[in-house]
Amino acid sequence: MGMKDWQPLNLTQLINDVDELIPGHLNTVESLMLCTLVTQLEENAKVVHLNPLVGQASALMAAGLLAGKGGRLFAIGEFDLAQGATDWGLGATLADANQRDQFNQYVAGNGLGHYVTTRVENATQAASRFKDRCVDLLFVDANRTISELSAELEGWLPKVKVGGVVACHGATPEAAEHLQKALSDTLLSPRLVCAPVLTDGLFVCRRHKAPKTKPKTAPLELRTSFGP
């Protein structure tokens, strides 16, 4: 049964289904947080996922659009898992598959393809195709070097709306460390206020205008309770 066939929509079950069907590194708490973030976005939200692997996070965010107020997710990256998916612990069967085909199969195959546009291009260069302050939520998979992450964050932060969300995930302790380093090195601190609810690998912030002093706005809060 595809997710689009569920009536009425049970978001908790949908999240569990994504986690069961699509390999990835988000744990149950992170999956819940990410999907919930998207359900809380405004109507017709624009979500950007940089450098996706095989679709777990994109499917969760598309599910959030389905359960929330709609919109579109842009999955942007070169889809060149050249060293094989086994490097990320996703299973040997994926190493020989075309990454983009695998991504599309997982996302569209679960009834969520209607919400997702896939773009095969360099994630940093792709930022120039988007207007400033047009993105409601930016999600960065930290499967990159520190310099690559820093360049991506520098290029994409201006594209995020004031009040918008920047979420990043490090699949491994090393990736999470790279992510923390990139965040601290890209002059983002004055413009980002981190959420109080974090995991070892998931970092969530809200963008503010560059202030003269530390912003008094409350940090991002997540509502994680919802019914069927």
What is the domain partition of the chain in residue ranges?
Answer: 3-207
pLDDT given at position 189 = 57
In the CATH hierarchy, which top-level class contains the domain 3-207? Answer: alpha beta
Reading the chain (228 residues) residue by residue, the pLDDT tens digits are 344 443 345 667 777 878 777 878 888 888 888 999 999 999 999 999 998 887 899 999 999 999 999 999 999 998 875 443 444 444 434 444 577 787 888 887 667 889 999 999 999 999 999 999 999 999 998 777 888 888 898 899 899 999 999 998 887 778 778 777 787 776 555 667 766 545 777 888 888 766 544 444 444 444 433 333
Q: What is the 3-state secondary structure (H, E, C) of 46-76?
A: EEEEECCCCCHHHHHHHHHHHHCCCEEEEEE
